[in-house]
Amino acid sequence: MPLGGSNDAPDDADDADDTKVADPTSPEAIKHLKEASERIDYSMDEIADQQANIKAVLARCKSSGLNAATVRKAVMLRRKRNADPAKYDEEVELLDLYLGAIT
């Protein structure tokens, strides 16, 4: 068989870049790219909305007399604990050890 004459990829392999088409200027390709761009724009808007919500909540914390940085840290630690309790416990033990050593 000549070099480059066959496709060695399995038929059921997912292509990471699904924007590849025979003619990148075809109406189908342009439509696909437009839709992909719209999905990304929508996702970016969702992220911006969530960031605005977080900022508002932290502002309310601050106006209530709480330290916003400490609230962020507490949320981050809770998220870590929920994701991997064993790793969280290990980090807390090390932190306690180090704080005990420097106080």
pTM: 0.52
Closest to 18 in 3D by CA, of 32, 4, 7, 38? 32
Give Cα 76 to chain centroid, integer Å. Answer: 15
Q: Residue 13 — very low, low, confident or very high, per pLDDT cuts 50/70/90?
A: very low
Question: Could you tell me which residues come within 8 angstroms of residue 58 by beta carbon, excluding any fewer than 6 positions away?
Answer: 68, 71, 72
Has residue 5 got a pLDDT over 60?
Answer: no
Q: What is the pLDDT of residues 18-55, one digit of tens each?
A: 555 578 888 898 999 999 999 999 999 999 999 999 99
Give pLDDT, residue 90.
94
Residue of 71, 95, 72, 91 whose CA lies nearest to 81:
91
Where along the chain do its domains lie? 22-66, 67-103
